[in-house]
Amino acid sequence: MRKNKLDPEIIRELIGQGLSNIEIANRMGWTVGTLYVRCSQLKISLRRSSKKVRLKRWPKIPLPDDLFEQLRQRAKIMHVSAAELVVALLKEIARDGLYDAVLDRDDAGVNCAIDKRAAVSAI
């Protein structure tokens, strides 16, 4: 994997997006330890505001054993927990509206309805 060039603004932007230290390190192609050292050298604080983000908890979602094992193995490669991997995947899908692409289908009617609701709520 090619290491990203050190750019303090990229790190600050990722922190501002609310990414965890692990997520930032993965995006930069570094270990978390390297992230700590680089941020210390650049006088960048990795501390988040004291406001706690409250996450909604859903009941446990049953997954087939083989699917969970695939997630667990991929998470191990990425040096994160399976839960962190699932949350990161869901964040990316939601943020970029990748539902149809991930599910490999074209639900134009659903997208249209969502776009209309977004337009109404923006008014």
DSSP conformation class of 63: -
Domain boundaries, the chain: 1-48, 62-123
Residue 69, pLDDT above cutoff 60:
yes
Q: Which amino acid is at 10?
A: I
Contact 84, 20 (CB under 8 A): yes
Residue with tokens 């869901």: 90
Indicate the pLDDT class of residue 82, thresholds 50, 70 and 90.
confident
What phi-psi label fits residue 50: left (phi over 0), alpha (psi between -120 and 50 degrees) or beta? alpha
| Mean pLDDT calculated for residue range 81-94 | 87
